[in-house]
């Protein structure tokens, strides 16, 4: 049913909670797992995004290791862009059957829940989105 599961990662508590659901779903459906982390483009002030890129690399490596300990081989994808649009683009490119993500992540904007990355992904996604509270 869910041949390919996309799991967008950030450093939020929501992502850590969603990881348990990802393990259960991937094992139940024997799915291919794609771990995605999105690095936002450098700001207009020209500030370097190096620390952010390094943090993403560390996050992806740690997540891949955690899933490997559960017997799950995951593909790792790192992209630059706006998180909600990039998540949906990767889901489309990789032909994901399901996106699993936490209900709140580090992408929450000052405008509140109506502008959260999760809500935007739900609106734009080419496939079902499972949101883990």
Q: Which residues contact 22 (CB under 8 A, 6 or more apart)?
A: 5, 7, 33, 67, 100
pLDDT for residue 92: 98
pLDDT for residue 111: 45
pLDDT for residue 43: 67
CA-angle at 105, arms to 104 and 109, nearest 5°: 90
pLDDT for residue 30: 97
Look up the pTM and report it.
0.87
Strand partners, 72: none
Q: Are 127 and 99 in contact (CB under 8 A)?
A: yes
Domains and CATH numbers, the chain: 4-132 (3.40.50.620)
Instruction: Give me the residues of the chain with pLDDT under 70, please.
Output: 43-51, 104-115
Enclosing H/E stretch for 101: strand 98-102
């Amino acid at each position: 049913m869910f041949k390919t599961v996309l799991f967008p990662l950030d450093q939020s508590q929501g992502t850590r909670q969603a990881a348990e659901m990802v393990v259960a779903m991937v094992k139940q459906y024997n799915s291919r797992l794609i771990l995605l982390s999105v690095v936002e483009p450098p700001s207009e002030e020209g500030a370097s995004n190096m620390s952010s890129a390094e943090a993403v690399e560390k996050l992806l490596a740690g997540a891949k290791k955690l899933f490997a300990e559960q017997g799950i081989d995951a593909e790792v994808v790192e992209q630059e862009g706006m998180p909600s649009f990039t998540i949906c683009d990767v889901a489309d490119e990789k032909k994901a059957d399901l996106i699993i993500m936490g209900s709140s992540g580090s992408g929450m904007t000052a405008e509140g829940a109506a502008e959260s990355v999760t809500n935007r992904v739900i609106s734009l996604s080419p496939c079902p989105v499972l949101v883990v509270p």
